[in-house]
Amino acid sequence: MRFIISFFLSFISIYSQTSKITSIDISSKMNGVSIKIHSDLILKPSQVTGWFNESTSWYYMTIHQAEGDTAFLELTKLANPIKEVEVIKAGESLQIGFRMKVPVENYEFYFSDLKPELMAALRFPLSDILASLESDQSDLKNSLIYKSRNKPMWVKVFYFAGIGLTSSGLIAGEKQKGWETPIGIGMIAVAYIYENFIFVNKK
């Protein structure tokens, strides 16, 4: 009887061990964001719950039977579209909140039997992903148009002329000792310095 009681108490003690959350890694994906939770013990599915609060744009993850340095975890390096991380110790649980720029449509947890880590995959609505892609393409297009319109024409002329002269000099070889190669390299250098140092600083 004592053996059974001792075994039962040991089982409860092992099962109720408190996990220590050591760090959080955030990485952006095309259709959402990946959050990796590192712990000193392997986390179980029964320990973790999550939900998204549409009214506040916060996604919350509660890890039961867990603890951690809340101040340190809140210094987690952010990645778009997460704006802020908040960590709260509530009794025997640790609640981790992520303030989102876009709503979370659904999420999934992935547990490892080999490593003490948990990965949460947060996915965004398709409409928000398409809008974000269109915005990025528009910004890139406007940036290219702006640069093209503002770059002086002589820079392009110097590049083309410099390449042409340099090629002519190299083809002629050392026997003719032409002036084309040094002049061509000089024109390319002038255009490069102006475009990448002087022109950029003028913006």
pLDDT tens digits for range 62-92: 999 999 999 999 999 999 889 999 999 999 9
Domains of the chain (ranges plus CATH)? 15-128 (2.60.40.3500), 151-202 (no CATH)
- The confidence score (pLDDT) of residue 14 equals 42
In tens, the pLDDT along 39-59 reads 999 999 999 999 999 999 999
Between these two residues, 26 and 143, which has the higher pLDDT value? 26
Whole-Å CA distances, 182 to 48, 161, 177, 189, 194: 68, 12, 10, 10, 18
- The confidence score (pLDDT) of residue 198 equals 66
* pTM for the whole structure: 0.58
Residue 47: which residues within 8 A CB-CB, separation 6 or more? 19, 63, 64, 65, 66
How many angstroms separate the CA atoms of 7 and 91, rounded? 27
Section 180-184 average pLDDT: 75
Give the max Cα distance, the chain: 105
- The confidence score (pLDDT) of residue 15 equals 47
pLDDT averaged over every residue in the chain: 78
Q: Which strand ranges, in their side-by-side order, compose the sheet holding 58-64? A: 48-53, 58-64, 93-100, 82-90
Section 3-7 average pLDDT: 42
What residues are paired with 97 via a beta bridge? 60, 86
- The confidence score (pLDDT) of residue 65 equals 95
Section 87-111 average pLDDT: 94
For the chain, give the percent of residues with pLDDT over 90. 45
Q: How confident is the model at residue 99 (pLDDT cuts 50, 70, 90)?
A: very high
DSSP assignment of 58-120: EEEEEEESEEE-HHHHTTPPP-TTEEEEEEEEETTEEEEEEEESS---EEEEEE-SSSSEEEE
Residue 134 clears pLDDT 70, i.e. is over it? no
Residue 120, burial from CB neighbour count under 10 angstroms (0-12, 13-18, 19+)? buried
In tens, the pLDDT along 150-172 reads 567 776 676 667 777 666 666 65
- The confidence score (pLDDT) of residue 174 equals 53
